[in-house]
Amino acid sequence: MKDIHSHLLYGIDDGCKDQEESIKILKKLRDAGVTDLILTPHYIEDTKYNCNNKEKIKIFREFQKRVEEENIEVNLYLGNEVFFTNDFISLINEKEILPLQNSKYILFEFSMGKIYSNALPIISNLTRKGYVPIMAHPERYPIFQKTPNMVVDYLKGGVHLQGNLTSLFGKYGRRAQKTLQYYLKMKWISFLGSDTHHDVKWNSKKLEKKLLRITKDPEYVKELMEENFDRIVYNQDLGMVDSREW
């Protein structure tokens, strides 16, 4: 399992509080089967969750050094989970936020209670600039739980979807679980992430069995668990989501 969404970069958001907790959780992720992990601290403008790139990279390098000293065999990469904003491009240019592994892929989230009416034009501007937006955990937003096919407007706009794998294990309730299962059946999910903050209560073998049962497609499962992650790391094209069911 290669995981594109986690909050192990300690002391800068609501994830791990310090390096000791980060090491503890990283070991649990390794034991769950994670081999590669992108650390994606929240970036929310005008809040305390706004650590800039210089500081993030400093903490990241300290963490990498500790991981090497402890011989924890997980490859680490850096990015952000950016709270949706008008200012994606300027925040990138000002070195406030990081695309995933300095690639063209940007992980973003909406407010749980609100999706902005101007979201699609902002996303269109991002794609015109060459970036590929990835929406974090669409199954958790009440608007998509109520009307799952509303997400198609974002797929048509070039957005890819990252499902929280823990939704399949019931972490966010039955509605989130059912919504993610539906998106997986439709093959609208491009990436999986654990969104790990403080605990790990799953493993990759159980995840793979669930994904195979839902999708009936081993090749798609391989893309979700490994191959699409690699496309981010190597900054390769992913292509549009299959539109045959739109």
Which DSSP string do the residues of 107-154 spell out, in sequence order?
A: EEE-BTTB--TTHHHHHHHHHHTT-EEEEE-GGGSHHHHH-GGGGHHH
Strands 105-109 and 81-83: what pairing?
A: parallel
Please give the tally of structural domains in the chain.
1
Residue 238 domain-assigned (yes or no): no
For 5-64, what is each residue's pLDDT tens digit?
999 999 999 999 999 999 999 999 999 999 999 999 999 999 999 999 999 999 999 999
For 66-95, what is each residue's pLDDT tens digit?
999 999 999 999 999 999 999 999 999 999
**pLDDT, position 113:** 85
**pLDDT, position 6:** 98
Would you say residue 245 has pLDDT above 70? no
Which residues constitute the domain of residue 72?
2-233
3-state secondary structure of 172: coil
Residue 149 domain-assigned (yes or no): yes
Residue 19 domain-assigned (yes or no): yes
For 96-151, what is each residue's pLDDT tens digit?
999 999 999 999 999 998 888 899 999 999 999 999 999 999 999 999 999 999 99
The average pLDDT across 144-173 equals: 96
What CA–CA distance (Å, rounded) separates 16 from 11? 6
Residue 28 domain-assigned (yes or no): yes
Residue 222 domain-assigned (yes or no): yes
**pLDDT, position 115:** 82
**pLDDT, position 192:** 97
Residue 243 domain-assigned (yes or no): no
**pLDDT, position 152:** 96
Distances (CA, A) of 91 to 96, 105, 233: 5, 14, 21
CATH number at residue 159: 3.20.20.140
| CA-wise closest residue to 62 among 133, 12, 6 | 12
